[in-house]
Amino acid sequence: MKVEQSLAGLRFLAVMVAGGVVGCGGVTAESPLTISLGIPRDAVHARVKAHKYCPKEGERAAKTEVYPRCTRPGAEWGESWIAARFEDGKLVELKRYERFADDNRAIERWNQLIGERAKLTPESAEAKTSLRTRELEPGTRSVKAFRVDANTIVGVYLLTPSPPEDASVLESILRVPTP
């Protein structure tokens, strides 16, 4: 009887754990960035943590802050980090750089990010035109643009790695008002 109860308890626990793992989707470091411009620095810190990037503790506020990926177990195909630019304590631009040694992985990741971003908002020819009025990122091979709201565009770039970042993929959230 006790053995049967123990086995039943273990099965219940296994189902709960499996259900918890499957059911706990949400934001990951691979998800498109969903951080709004104009928010204060402390809110940015909380939001980058939700995206699995870690603010450096104890650093003084700077005009540009860099957030590396939080430590996690297992191997990764590349590395990534977020750079946030602030004016008057508010977020004005956000960039996620991703670096891959293998170009095929970079292309695969770029396509994945475009697909995930398109689920949030459709690709926009108007946003791409607005984005192209600015200087393109160094090494741009291809770019897709998405209008988030009347004042915000997301550009997803496939890059030929070049200094100083040597990034292969860039997701950039910037303020570009609707013309």
**Domain presence at residue 13:** no
Convert the pLDDT of each residue in 107-155 to its tens digit: 999 999 999 999 999 999 999 999 888 888 999 999 999 999 999 999 9
Rounded CA Rg of the chain = 20
Q: What is the mean pLDDT of residues 24-35?
A: 71
Tell me how many domains the chain contains.
1
Q: Is residue 14 part of a domain?
A: no
Residue 33's φ and ψ, nearest 5 degrees, are -70, 135
| Own/partner pairs, 52-55, CB within 8 angstroms, 24+ separation | 52/27, 52/28, 53/29, 53/81, 53/82
Residue 28: pLDDT band with limits 50, 70, 90: low
Q: Which domain holds residue 45?
A: 27-175
- Measured distance CA(92)–CA(97) in Å, rounded: 17
Burial code of 11-39, b = ≥16 C-beta within 10 A, e = fewer? eeeeeeeeeeeeeeeeeebebbbebebee
Instruction: Please give the Cα distance from 41 to 65 (Å, whole number).
Output: 10
How far, in Å, CA of 41 to CA of 63, rounded? Answer: 10
pLDDT digits (tens, 9 = 90+) for 31-56: 999 999 999 999 999 999 999 999 88
Task: Categorize the per-residue pLDDT at 169 as very low, low, confident or very high, splitting at 50, 70 and 90.
Answer: very high
Q: What is the pLDDT of residues 69-113, one digit of tens each?
A: 987 655 566 799 999 999 999 999 999 999 999 999 999 999 999
In-domain check, residue 155: yes
Q: What is the pTM of this model?
A: 0.81
Return the number of other C-beta atoms located less than 10 Å from residue 99's C-beta: 16
- Does any domain span residue 5? no
Q: Tell me whether residue 111 is in a domain.
A: yes
Tell me if 9 is assigned to some domain.
no
Structural domain includes residue 2? no
The pLDDT confidence band at residue 29, using thresholds 50, 70 and 90, is: low
- Judge contact between 69 and 81, C-beta under 8 A: yes
Are 38 and 90 in contact by the 8 Å Cβ rule? The answer is yes
